[in-house]
Structure formats: C-alpha cells, structure tokens
Amino acid sequence: MMQRKWTRKAALLLGLSAGIVLGGAQAMADTPAPSSPNPSSNAMINLVRLLVAQGTISKDKGDALIVEATREAEQARATEIAVAGEAARSAVGAAQPAQLAATSPAAVAAPPGSTQIAANAPPPPAGTIRVPYIPETVRKSIRDDIKTDVMREAKAEGWASPGEAAPDWTKRITVSGDVRVRSQSQFYSRFNATDIPNFQAIVANGPLDLLSGNIPFLNTTVDQYSILSLRARIRVDAALADWIGAGIEIATGNDADPVSEKSTLGGDFFKKDIYLSKAFVTARPTGWSSVTVGRFGNPFFSSDAIFAPDLSFDGVVGEIDLPNRVFGHADFKLRAGAFPLDFGDQNFPDIATTKSSEPEKWLFAWQLEADLRLPHRTKLDLGVAYYDYANDSGQRSSPCALGYGATQCSTDGQAPYYVQQGNSLFQLRNIVDSSGNPVNGAELLGLVQRFQVLDVMGTLHVPVSAHTEVSLMGDYLNNLAFRSWRACQFGEAGEPVNNGGSGGSGNICDPTPGDATPYVAGHQGFQIMTTLGYPTIAERGQWRVFAGYKYLQSDATLDAINDPDFHLGGTNAKGFILGGTVGLAHNVRIGARWMSTNQVSGEPLAIDVLQIDLNAAF
C-alpha cells in the first residue's frame, strides 16, 4: 500500500513537471469554462481537476487556478494574435487593407474574459499541435501545494527514503560520544620536599608495614613532558515510553578509579581497557519531577572543587522542579539522593565461624538550586547543598594479634578503597603480640575526620553580545563535621600520619605539654572562576578564555572524588588556573589549561601542570 501511494504521488509530480516544461506555449482555443464538469481537451485543466479529486489541493483552490489559467491564457493568445497581425501587415504592405483587416487585433479582439478569442484566430497550419499555456503564478502555486502535501505525508508514513520505513525502535535510540586526546606536562619546584609519602599507593596496595622503610614516596622533583592520554566515551539513550528512559555509557580508563576516564597511551601498543561508566533508568511520572536509579552522571549543581568532572554516582536521586515561584523571575529545583559507597565485607572475618557486621558507607545529599532571571538577559544560578558521608571515617581496631592466628583486624573494613592526597589519615590496626604488647606490622590507613560538607555555589552570566558572555563562578565549602580533637582521639598510637606542621617532637599527639607537633589540617575551601566567550563551543571560530583561583584545606571535602588534575588531585592545595578553548570545526575544539599550585600546609610541594586537549564529539 505504501509503495502504491509513492507511485501515485510520483506520477502527479511527473505530470506537473511536464506541464511546466510546456507551459510557455499558446493556450488551446476551445478551453471550456472552469465550472464545466465534462472532460476537457486541455490537459492542464484535467490535471488540476485530478489534483482536486486526489485531495492534493482543495476544490476552491482548483477552481481559482483554472480561472486564473484561462484568463492569462486568453491574454497571452490576444497578444500573440496582435503580434502576428502586425507582422503580416508589414509583410504585404498597405495594398491589401481589407484582407489584413480580417486578421487585425481589432477584428479578433474580444472583451476581457471572452472565450471566443481563439475561435476568431486563423486556422493553424496542418500538423500543428497546440498545448495549454500555464502562467508562472499557477505553476508555482501548484508546485508548492504538491510539495507541501507530499512531504507531509512522506514524513508521517515514512516512505520518503528508498525501501521500507526504518523500524520503530530506531526512532527511540540516541547514540552520542566523544574522544579527547591530551598532552600533559608536569613541572616541580626544586624546593619541594622529597620525603612525602604516596598515600594513594599505600591505600591501593593494601596493608603495609609503614615502619619497615619500604614506604612509597611521591615524585616531587623530576619534571615530566608531554604525557599522552586518551579518553573515549560512547553513550546510548533509549526512550522506552513517554515518561521513562534508560541509558548506558562505556569509557576508557587506566584503572577503575572513580575520578578519571583517561587511558595513558604507550605501553608497547597494548590494547586499552573499557569500563562501564553509566547504566541507569530515569522515570518522569509528572512534568515537574523525575527519579533516576543506577549509575549516572553528577546530578548536582557543583564545581570540580568537590566532584571530579568524570565522576559517576551509584544509587538513586530525585528532582522536583518548582518553576516561576518568585514573581515569575526564578525557577527552583530540589534534589535529594542516596549513594552507597561501600556495603562492607559480607563474610567478615573470612576464617572465623562467628561473623561480624561492618557499617555501610553512604553519601546522602540534598540541594536547592535557584535560577534567577535578571534584566538584559542576565542570569544568576545559585545552589546550596549538604553532603553527608555516613560512616566514612575510621575507628581504631581492638587488639589484633597478627601473625598469631589473626589475619584480619576488627576495623579493616573501614579503610577507604581510594584516596588521592590531602585528607588526614591514621593507622587503623592496633597490632599486638601474643602477650598483648604493641608491635609494628602491616598497617591499613583510615580517615581521621568525618565529612558533612556544606557547599554554596553561584554563577552570574552577563551577556556582552549576541553570542558571548562574561560569567563569574564562586564556590565555598565547609566541612561542618571537622573537629581538631579527633586527631588524637585514639592516643599516640592513632595519631595522624600526615598534616603535621613544623616544630615539636614530631608527634602530633605527644602527651608532654609543649612538645606536640601542630596539627595543621583545615576544613574550608573556595574557588572563583571568571570566563569570557561563548557559553558552549560547538562550531569553528567560537572561543572561550578563563582564569581562576582555588583554595582547599586538607579536610574541606573528601579528597578521593574531587578534581584529579589540580595539584595532581585531592585537597591541601591552592593556586591559579588559566586557559582557553577555540572551535576548529563542528563539535571539534582545542584547548589549553595551566595550573600553578602549592600546598596549603605541611611539607613544601609546588606543582605546575600544562594540559593541551583536542576534543571531538558526535
């Protein structure tokens, strides 16, 4: 049935094309009246009637076209006869006035609207074929009407493309992705300390005897140039119904760490790993609410001071939109979510017949966001959020006789899976010998402080032209759960292994008055950033430049999940950020960023990072 419809419309289009090609010829003399229901010898009148019968154009419009065609054809015929008379008169001269009078325009001309003009014309020579004249206005009107009708029906029925219409599921699937190639160089100050432990490696490698002399240390002195990395992501989104959808994304990565999807190039051409980055279902039961479950992108209005740009969230989040609640100028969004960080070992201790439960670690989050629309297209985005990391800090274990029958200690499950650098850490295990005396052994590290972070963020957008704007972003963090006394809550044996200042005995928890080394950890942070240029860069020649400053004390937020690039990740860092981006082609851009950072407190560590990125999206 679909093929027959296409054939019928193609025939109409071919007929119209033929009429347009022949439309410059003279009209036939016996053109019937527009209202005549009988078949006409005029092909174009029959074509218009056929279009009316097929429903391509209305009857009223068809009648109007026939009247207009007849009128213009008669005028064209009269003009042609007049020209022919003048030519004949010039040819034979004035000697034959009576004979020429029979063919003169005055003799054959009829009042406007008459249908007898063609009848008074001299008979055509033998073999002459007359075709109808179609005025340009009529041709254009018919062409536009048919095109509009045909394209409308083609879109609705899916027969515009060759072959059958695409399957219905293809209309509900969207595929997107991006590729980023990065060159990164890292430069270190010659005044840096050389004995800063690599706590990320210590935590990742499991229990280590920190007093054995085999502690891994950070590189703080040797510059590194043009380290090439790749980030590739592909995402598929499916609309399952009007109110529910799902999505899946896979991405590259050096490992399964939560903050980065880059894969370092090199490695003797070994293939790169691919990880499941996102997999989620989103339901929108009403026009003003939504719920997403699974693994998904950052749902909060936030900066990289608290969450890394590549971070994905596991769990559930809901959002409620409250539009135009303040004099028609502000929209509000309320978000809340619960995100599991660690469900704990379900079979702890492994070799014991009596099992013990471990506290589950969760992130509970709430945020209120307001979008305030100001005069002259100025806009202010504000967000206030509270992030509660439940059970994330560690506890000192009960006496643990490792090597004397014990293979695990009571609080081993409280060690974090991943850290970057900056947060205060202490030794979780209380290791003893068979007599209960403290001894050294393979240790695990845990977080000293709890984290309940208040985040207040705002971005002001001020247009400076039709396409460019100036924006100013500010973000303030405060860990409301921070307490300095927690540094020594477990005594000397449980003192922090980092974030000690200068002076004293070297022991933060030294009980001798005046001998304790200062505990220099802090709980606040902020970031400011100003940007000039296009809000988004998607086309060639579009550009954006930015400059900013970031300051994060050691325990302002959880260092494991914030920006991995500034100061090479984590907290206890401050410094400047400069950069810019320019579009090279559609969805292709190149950019550079320079970050010059220092430690906030503790051993000197100055790092400058230069990144050059080529991004292509589809």
Find out whether 229 and 611 touch, Cβ atoms under 8 Å.
no
419-430 mean pLDDT = 96
Confidence at residue 337, expressed as pLDDT on a 0 to 100 scale: 98
Find out whether 333 and 320 touch, Cβ atoms under 8 Å.
yes
pLDDT band for position 25 (cuts 50, 70, 90): very low
Question: Is 124 in the same domain as 93?
Answer: yes
330: tokens are 């502000």
pLDDT band for position 10 (cuts 50, 70, 90): very low
Distances (CA, A) of 512 to 316, 488, 495, 508, 509: 49, 13, 14, 11, 9
Domain assignment of residue 511, yes or no: no
Question: Is 149 in the same domain as 186?
Answer: no
pLDDT higher than threshold 50 for residue 20: no
249-272 mean pLDDT = 94
* Element at 80 (helix H, strand E): helix 59-92
Which of 163-167, 245-249, 380-384, 595-599 comes out lowest in average pLDDT?
A: 163-167
Query: Of 110, 137, 163, at which residue does a domain stop?
Result: 163
pLDDT band for position 130 (cuts 50, 70, 90): low
Domain assignment of residue 502, yes or no: no
Question: Is 341 in the same domain as 434?
Answer: yes
Query: Of 163, 198, 228, at which residue does a domain stop?
Result: 163
Distances (CA, A) of 555 to 33, 194, 421, 448, 573: 93, 23, 10, 9, 11
Q: What is the total count of domains within the chain? A: 2
Question: Is 111 in the same domain as 195?
Answer: no
522: tokens are 């802090």
pLDDT band for position 582 (cuts 50, 70, 90): very high
pLDDT higher than threshold 90 for residue 233: yes
Taking only the tens place, the pLDDT of each residue in 396-410 is 999 999 878 788 899
pLDDT higher than threshold 90 for residue 254: yes
CA distance 310 to 602: 29
Confidence at residue 33, expressed as pLDDT on a 0 to 100 scale: 42
Confidence at residue 213, expressed as pLDDT on a 0 to 100 scale: 72
Question: Is 143 in the same domain as 185?
Answer: no
Question: Is 127 in the same domain as 224?
Answer: no
Taking only the tens place, the pLDDT of each residue in 43-96 is 667 777 777 777 767 777 778 777 777 777 677 677 767 666 665 555 545 444
Domain assignment of residue 505, yes or no: no
Question: Is 369 in the same domain as 430?
Answer: yes
Confidence at residue 169, expressed as pLDDT on a 0 to 100 scale: 79
CA distance 118 to 125: 15
pLDDT higher than threshold 80 for residue 11: no
Question: Is 129 in the same domain as 202?
Answer: no
Confidence at residue 352, expressed as pLDDT on a 0 to 100 scale: 74
CATH code at position 200 = 2.40.160
CA distance 316 to 336: 9
Give the residues across from 313 on adjacent strands. 296
Query: Of 163, 196, 216, at which residue does a domain stop?
Result: 163
Which of 19-23, 55-59, 319-323, 363-367 comes out lowest in average pLDDT?
A: 19-23
pLDDT band for position 36 (cuts 50, 70, 90): very low
* Element at 174 (helix H, strand E): strand 173-188
Domain assignment of residue 494, yes or no: no
Question: Is 86 in the same domain as 223?
Answer: no
Distances (CA, A) of 139 to 47, 52, 53, 113, 326: 12, 15, 18, 21, 56
263-272 mean pLDDT = 93
Which of 285-289, 304-308, 385-389, 451-455 comes out lowest in average pLDDT?
A: 285-289
Confidence at residue 160, expressed as pLDDT on a 0 to 100 scale: 59
Going by the DSSP 8-state scheme, the letter that residue 534 receives in this structure is -
265-275 mean pLDDT = 93
Q: How many helices (H) and strands (E) does the chain have?
A: 8, 21
Question: Is 452 in the same domain as 560?
Answer: yes
Domain assignment of residue 509, yes or no: no
Question: Is 304 in the same domain as 422?
Answer: yes
Give the structural domain span for 593. 178-482+521-617
Q: Among residues of the chain, what percentage have pLDDT more than 90?
A: 61
pLDDT higher than threshold 60 for residue 513: yes
Secondary structure E strands in 506-587:
524-533, 543-552, 573-585
Confidence at residue 208, expressed as pLDDT on a 0 to 100 scale: 86
Confidence at residue 1, expressed as pLDDT on a 0 to 100 scale: 45
Domain assignment of residue 168, yes or no: no
Question: Is 48 in the same domain as 183?
Answer: no
Supply angle C-alpha 536, 534, 459, rounded to 5.
Answer: 80
22: tokens are 């022949």
Domain assignment of residue 507, yes or no: no
Confidence at residue 448, expressed as pLDDT on a 0 to 100 scale: 97
Prediction pTM value = 0.75
Query: Average pLDDT of the chain?
Result: 85
Taking only the tens place, the pLDDT of each residue in 516-529 is 999 999 999 999 99
pLDDT higher than threshold 90 for residue 164: no
Which of 329-333, 536-540, 555-559 comes out lowest in average pLDDT?
A: 329-333
pLDDT higher than threshold 60 for residue 365: yes
